[in-house]
Amino acid sequence: MSNAMKQFVSKIILVILSGVLLSAPISTDGAAFGRHQKPNVLIITADNLGYGDLSIMGAKDIQTPTIDEFFTDGLMFTEFYANAPTSSPTQASLLSGRFPALVGVPGTIRRDSQNNWGYFQCEKTMAHHFREAGYLTALIGKWNLGFEAPNLPNAQGFDLFMGFLGDEIDDYYTHRHENVNCMRFNESEIDAPGHTTDLFSNWSASFILREAESDKPFFLYLSYNAPGPLLQPDEDHLKDVSNRNPTLSPERAKHIALIEQMDRGIGRVMQALKETNQLKNTIIIFTSTNGGIVESGASNGRLRGGKLDLFEGGIRVPTSIYWKKGIKKGSLSHQMSMTMDLFPTLCSLAQVPTNQILDGQDLTTCILDNVPLQQERTLFWTCREGGEHHGEACYAARQGAYKLMQNRPSEKFRLYNLTTDPHEVIPLAESSEHYRRLHRALMDHVQENEKIPWFENAKKQEHPSSDNSSTSDN
């Protein structure tokens, strides 16, 4: 990064840390849009957001007007999958464009070396490519891909990082996990007051407001840890939800309140884009890292299962792409897609060159022209975890209507036809050709996974805060 860019990033940081937000004087005369023609990129990920946890997805007990607009005014994917039923592998796929196990992240990366199931190994992340193309790159929010160099955001292509390291925190206000402060500005520890969800929203809005002074486009990854697994919404939001619907269970009310708090925060981010006249030329992705935790009040709609499951409820996620300048309002894509596809797709839309091996496919024609991919593809999932998994992995694959899966390592594989059996309750015969073909393809994928030497590095890297007792899920 040049000295001029370092100075500009430092200026942004000072503004953000000082708490200056939407009240700051900013020129909105249209110059921000005119300085560069490249589109800005904003990726927003929720954590553990269920398929049925947005009003646009049919939820009657929740109000998410800002997020809904991404779907109604942009393009809605109807068959979009997270690369895994947990956040570390999905984040790895987003930034690498690969199946997560092929970059060393078959499961959740944690502080406890005995319950750590990955070590991120990526030649160049999507952020690297955007930075090389002249973008100012920032990650605000949850980083779940490591605790030490080289697996920290600044070494993975981000000019600016403000957020926390790890799979979870124990308190949205203290930002601690096992009594250790997880919050960072770049690699320095910070102790910022406020609710994590609001901090991430406000920091992102401040970044956009001040970045408008630059002649560079931005690549901003806003990575929320809401709505879970910790259910700790702001009291005012919780009161609003409970008063509106007093029959909700305590868990569902807290879950909804966190989502609505996140939605309002995203509204402030959108307001910053509007005030700086950058909304028209900003590509916005909204998605979730994995399915919702049903036991904690989430809803995955009609889908079976939830987080940590390879049933549809654990991996199919609400996803949209909004670009006022380039995407027709109210578009739909039925293309079977995955998180890793966002890497080549965003690079293509922004005309950012990339020459590395990617598993993800460019969805540009699906998005802009509603033309499906020409070749039928096979999607794969790996879930390696501790607890009841005992460090073993379970797998799934889908091609067309057919999905082969085991939901826990000890289970036998079952084949489902998702067209005729979307709830995954009627397994098909193991003697079918679809079973044999998918099983063969899946075993080839598993063998390729096993060649990636993540295990030794994962077991060596233990964060100082670890007491070897954590068994929680991210």
Nearest to 107 by CA among 286, 297, 299, 307: 307
d(CA 392, CA 315): 19
Q: Does position 232 have pLDDT exceeding 80, yes or no?
A: yes
> pLDDT value at position 34?
45
On the question of pLDDT at 470 being above 90, the answer is: no
Instruction: Give the 3-state DSSP-derived string for 382-426, with helices as H, strands as E and coil as C.
Output: EEECCHHHCCCEEEEEEECCEEEECCCCCCCCEEEECCCCCCCCC
Please check whether residue 133 lies inside any domain of the structure.
Answer: yes
In a domain, 311, yes or no: yes
Of residues 41, 44, 40, the one with CA closest to residue 287: 44
Find tokens 């750590």 and name the residue: 116
Count of structural domains within the chain: 1
> How much is the pLDDT for 23?
38
Residue 32 lies in a domain: no
CATH number at residue 285: 3.40.720.10
CA pair distance 198, 268, nearest whole angstrom: 10
In-domain check, residue 470: no
Question: Does residue 458 form part of some domain?
Answer: no
Q: What's the pLDDT tens digit per position in 254-280? A: 999 999 999 999 999 999 999 999 999
pLDDT, position 389: 72
pLDDT of res. 311: 98
Determine, yes or no, domain membership for 312: yes
Range of the domain at 296: 37-374
Those residues whose C-beta lies under 8 Å from the C-beta of residue 122, and which sit 6 or more positions away, are 92, 95, 96, 98, 103, 156
How many CB atoms neighbour CB 112 within 10 A?
A: 19
pLDDT of residue 391: 79
The model's pLDDT over 19-60, given as tens digits with 9 standing for 90+, comes to: 544 434 344 444 444 456 899 999 999 999 999 999 999 999
Taking only the tens place, the pLDDT of each residue in 74-94 is 999 999 999 999 999 999 999
How far does CA 271 lie from the centroid of its chain?
Answer: 22
pLDDT surpasses 90 at 407: yes
User: Which runs of E-coded beta strand occur in 100-156?
Assistant: 136-143
Do 346 and 125 touch, CB atoms closer than 8 A? no
* Strand-pair category, 80-81 with 337-338: parallel
Does some domain include residue 186?
A: yes
For residue 422, being part of any structural domain is answered with no
Read off the pLDDT of residues 343-391 as tens digits, 9 standing for 90 and up: 999 999 999 999 899 999 999 999 999 888 888 899 999 998 877 777 7
Residue with tokens 């460090």: 391
Q: Given this model, what pLDDT does residue 178 score?
A: 85
Least-confidence region, from 26-40, 131-145, 237-251, 460-474: 460-474
Q: Which residue has the tokens 């990129």?
A: 41
Residue 464, pLDDT above cutoff 70: no
Please write the tens of the pLDDT for every residue from 409-429: 989 999 999 999 999 999 999
